[in-house]
Structure 1
Amino acid sequence: MTLGLVQRDIKVGTSQADVAQILGSPNIVTQDADGKETWIYDKVSSITSYGSSGFGVNVGGFGGGFGWNGIGGGMGNVGYNKNGGTVQSNQKTLTVVLKFDNNHNVSSFSYHMSSF
């Protein structure tokens, strides 16, 4: 369930069966004194992102020399790398409240989204 899905597909007059197909089962179902149902959907999502910064040093060089049996050589290489990073976590909640009439169609609805 997303806010865009609710805004696009849920309208006054939408049947309970269509709402259930679009949004799935509600978290809470209540009834008022007149027997009209209210469905409440509550979704919490967490988003975690990782960032990294790096620092690297590579040093290379050639080495050589003359030996008893000819020319000898070698290559030296030294490396260093340190990575550090950040982690950021956000949570979002989406609450949707749908009220139905006696014909089991949406009579009114509201939603609230918050981030923290």
Structure 2
Amino acid sequence: MSENNRLRDVFDAIADPTRRRLIRLLAEAKELPLHELTEQFPMGRTAVSKHLTILKEAGLVVDRKVGRETRFRLNAAPLREIQDWVSFYSQFWNANLLRLNQLLEEEEE
């Protein structure tokens, strides 16, 4: 699924702590089946599956069938959008804090 064809916004997809944890688990492992992911949460298979569907709609998760099992892996490329957004504001705050520091130093002199 290309970035232009995503069904869901990446920011919306990562807004939920459960989905962020799923992303973390998938980042740490190459690929995990649904039952192993479900074991990591105090919720049922259906609830975990719904969270994975939201991540899939945002292009963050890819799945494949292996026999009767569905395995999931992370596609981190859409996270670049978030990294770019945070980077912009990081530069914004760094510049503003530098200016504030300069003003405070000028007042002290």
Relative to the length of structure 1, the TM-score reads 0.30
Relative to the length of structure 2, the TM-score reads 0.32
**Which structure is higher in strand share?**
1
Structure with higher Rg: it is 1
